[in-house]
Amino acid sequence: MEAEHPAPGMDTVRCRYVKGFTRLSLWYVWRRAKTGSEPFADVVNKRVNIFRNTSFYDGKQHPGRPAPPRLAALYSQHKNDAATDGFEEDGLKLLWPYLEARLKVAGDGLSGDRPYECWSYDYTGTGRLNIHIDNVYRPRSPLSEMFIPFAASLIRMLQDSRTRRPDIMIVRCSSWMNSTPRFRSLFPARWAKSEVVNPHIGYTMGHWGQFMDRRGDFHAGNGRQFRATCTLPYPATACECEIAEALSHLTIRFPEAVEYSRRRTPV
């Protein structure tokens, strides 16, 4: 099968991630679609993140175009199977040309200017500083050996936001990472107390990012747990607190991060 043999020069780790992640997503599509709670196209486009790994994705909107129509027909062929293996295998074969095309041109999507390293942000919709996380330290982890640089870049982002948008006083994050103690330690107690669990799995990496490991490979352990329990290993939650409170907490709790930023700042 094409997915077993990536094209020469293609990132093998990224290829392995896309293959494992797509199979897991197809497993979830099969299970969710069988409930009949929403149209098949909505399950594919709104509940899993397959689309953004294909050449159909324009890098901006989700979904930008419908998923390959043959996927629905393939589901119809397999929906009464006793297990998902056939749908996963045939679905991956069907999708692979589109997945491979994006692998060839897009890589991991983390290149370019990232002034706050793993962190990025937007202000849309909520009147808050919405923060997002991607691991630019691969194969190292922002929650272990790179934790101080990770905390330092968060401090810089929050400080810059106060200068850039003094009217925005709340920082918010919706992610599975809120369910990890190490990530929660970056924020004051109010952060965890504000937690709201998202009752539905959506397509964003705020839900599905837990299936990528620190290397950018597929996180097989989390995948097995999800299949066994039908529950995300790390629930996706939304948390928030005041920016000023977060900065105060960070500077008191992590003086090493403050010093790290000071050493990196040109005199």
Average pLDDT, the chain: 90
Q: 147-164 and 255-264 helices cross at what angle (nearest 10)?
A: 70
Encoded tokens for 36: 């009949």
Distance CA 117, CA 134 (A): 8
| Residues forming a β-bridge with 122 | 130
Whether 267 has a pLDDT exceeding 50, the answer reads no
Whether 6 has a pLDDT exceeding 60, the answer reads no
| Residues forming a β-bridge with 174 | 238
Q: What angle do CA 239, 245, 247 make, to 5 degrees?
A: 100
Once rounded to an integer, what is the mean pLDDT over residues 10-16?
89
Once rounded to an integer, what is the mean pLDDT over residues 232-247?
97
Q: Which residue has the higher pLDDT, 45 or 28?
A: 28
60 pLDDT band, cuts 50/70/90, is confident
Whether 1 has a pLDDT exceeding 50, the answer reads no
3-state secondary structure labels for all residues of 105-130 = HHCCCCCCCCCCCCEEEECCCCCCEE
Distance CA 230, CA 239 (A): 24
Share of the chain above pLDDT 70, in %: 90
Once rounded to an integer, what is the mean pLDDT over residues 218-231?
97
Once rounded to an integer, what is the mean pLDDT over residues 207-214?
97
Once rounded to an integer, what is the mean pLDDT over residues 56-72?
74
Once rounded to an integer, what is the mean pLDDT over residues 151-171?
97
Gyration radius (Cα) of the chain, Å: 20
What does each C-alpha distance from 194 to 14, 170, 182, 240 come to in angstroms? Answer: 35, 12, 17, 6
7 pLDDT band, cuts 50/70/90, is low
Whether 107 has a pLDDT exceeding 90, the answer reads no
3 pLDDT band, cuts 50/70/90, is very low
H/E segment holding residue 255: helix 255-264
E strands in the chain:
119-122, 129-133, 170-175, 196-197, 237-242
